[in-house]
A = this chain, B = another copy of it.
Amino acid sequence: MISLTELKEEVLQQAQLAKIASKQVGTATAEQKNRALLAMAEKLWARREAIFAANHLDVEEARATGQSESRIDRLILHEKRLKDMMEGLRQVSVLPDPVGEVVESFTRADGLRIERVRVPIGVIAMVYESRPNVTADAAGLALKTGNAVILRGGKEALRTNRELVAALREGLAGSGLSAEAIQFINRTERDSVDILIQARGLVDLAIPRGGAGLIGRVVQHAQVPVIETGVGNCHVFVDAKADLGMATEVILNAKTQRPSVCNAMETLLVHEAVGPAWMRQIVEQLQKRGVEIRGCEQTRSWLEQGAEGGNATILPAGEEDWADEFLDLVLAIKVVKTLDEAIEHIDRYGTKHSEAIVTDDVQAAETFLRRVDAAAVYHNASTRFTDGFEYGFGAEIGISTQKLHARGPMGLRELTSYKYIGRGTGQVRS
């Protein structure tokens, strides 16, 4: 056990090293950074034996302590997943460098020329849970954008992350950049997170990535700026004038194509004018794909009317079902009387992630798109599109559900800040 004082000293020293290294990577050329990204990928492969051995120990411990299979699955690192990580780093290396981009410029009447230029944020603290791929992703994206990164992963993946970081740092150092630009908090004490996210003057941004519990704790204790990511209680609303064939396609995609991700649908809202016949069809289709349904009273009554056995027995949906992000093959269904009621339901239970309406009524669609307050709103399309790769950003560090700085998918651009650069010939203010 380490004392709180020692822990604080250790973490702050790492933050200090990151701060110093951020000056170097912040002014590195695109070529230097891209070379380093390729070297980092190579070192992951070169050190794969040590990485897999460490991962094996992590997985064994997770099994021994009775972790769930889905958690263990997220933790496991095999050759394919390591290659995906390496491929991710290589993909980032070929993206354009956002640092130094002149976003806008103007010349004052007195001749002073002012440019707004993209610059790195500085030091980014990533606080995340068990998936080890975040380690390589975050290190790569931070480096590409000229930032230093401090990685604080989940305790289940400690050994794996330690080996991954050793490889990444070796790659960085081998290409002439400071290995200190990637810091790893080699501690499992929860206090290490608090120290990190309260290190004003050293840490410029904290990004929590994980479940609602982790994100809530970080937001509550942070004294440095935070970008909240990822909790998605997403809805699809089938309007009175929906093309019901299209609605079926969108719903099946939003719910079942990959139910464990944040942009999957969790609650289906159906206008009452749609009626019981289609409701029975869509529920049947969902159930065929293994989806468990929890319905409002109207939904259940409609299903009972047409029941010849099975699907009348769906569970009633309660408050927690409207609020929960299931991340699983579970769907809550609510019948609403009006577009307004749908929007109000989303307003109350949504997490400002991704929301969709299916309708042929353009006015209803525009009302929905304007009034629903979320990072991404869709008309006649699946919520599953909210993703940095689908948006063509070429990379993604997370999906922001807050309104400051970055909203929705965060790519390279969202990991930068800007500064104003004024070039004059002696101008003074009158």
- List chain A positions with a Cβ less than 8 A from chain B: 23, 27, 106, 108, 112, 114, 119, 121-122, 200, 204-205, 219-220, 223, 225-227, 243, 246, 249-250, 252-254, 257, 358, 365, 369-371, 373-382, 384-386, 390-392, 402-405, 407-408, 417-429
Report copies per complex: 2
Whole-angstrom distance between the alpha carbons of A385 and B370 in the complex? Answer: 37
A254: chain B residues at CB < 8 Å are 428
Instruction: Check if A246 sits within 8 Å of B376, measured CB to CB.
Output: no
Kindly provide the distance from the CB of A346 to the nearest chain B CB, expressed in whole angstroms: 13
Which of chain B's residues has its CB closest to A23's CB?
B371
Given contacts A219-B223, A225-B225, A392-B106, contact A374 B419 (CB under 8 A): yes
Whole-angstrom distance between the alpha carbons of A23 and B370 in the complex? Answer: 10
Given contacts A427-B381, A428-B384, contact A204 B403 (CB under 8 A): yes
Given contacts A380-B427, A425-B380, contact A122 B373 (CB under 8 A): yes
Instruction: Check if A419 sits within 8 Å of B122, measured CB to CB.
Output: no
Instruction: Check if A380 sits within 8 Å of B424, measured CB to CB.
Output: yes
Instruction: Check if A382 sits within 8 Å of B425, measured CB to CB.
Output: no
Interface of A is mostly: mixed
Instruction: Check if B419 sits within 8 Å of A382, measured CB to CB.
Output: no
Whole-angstrom distance between the alpha carbons of A108 and B381 in the complex? Answer: 12
B420, B423, B429: which contacts A257 (Cβ < 8 A)?
Answer: B429
Whole-angstrom distance between the alpha carbons of A134 and B391 in the complex? Answer: 40
Given contacts A253-B429, A382-B428, A404-B225, contact A376 B420 (CB under 8 A): yes
11 new A-B contacts at CB < 8 Å, known A377-B420, A384-B428, A404-B404: A220-B223, A225-B402, A225-B404, A257-B429, A379-B424, A380-B424, A381-B426, A381-B428, A390-B429, A391-B420, A407-B419
Instruction: Check if A428 sits within 8 Å of B257, measured CB to CB.
Output: yes
Which of chain B's residues has its CB closest to A347's CB?
B23
Whole-angstrom distance between the alpha carbons of A358 and B377 in the complex? Answer: 49
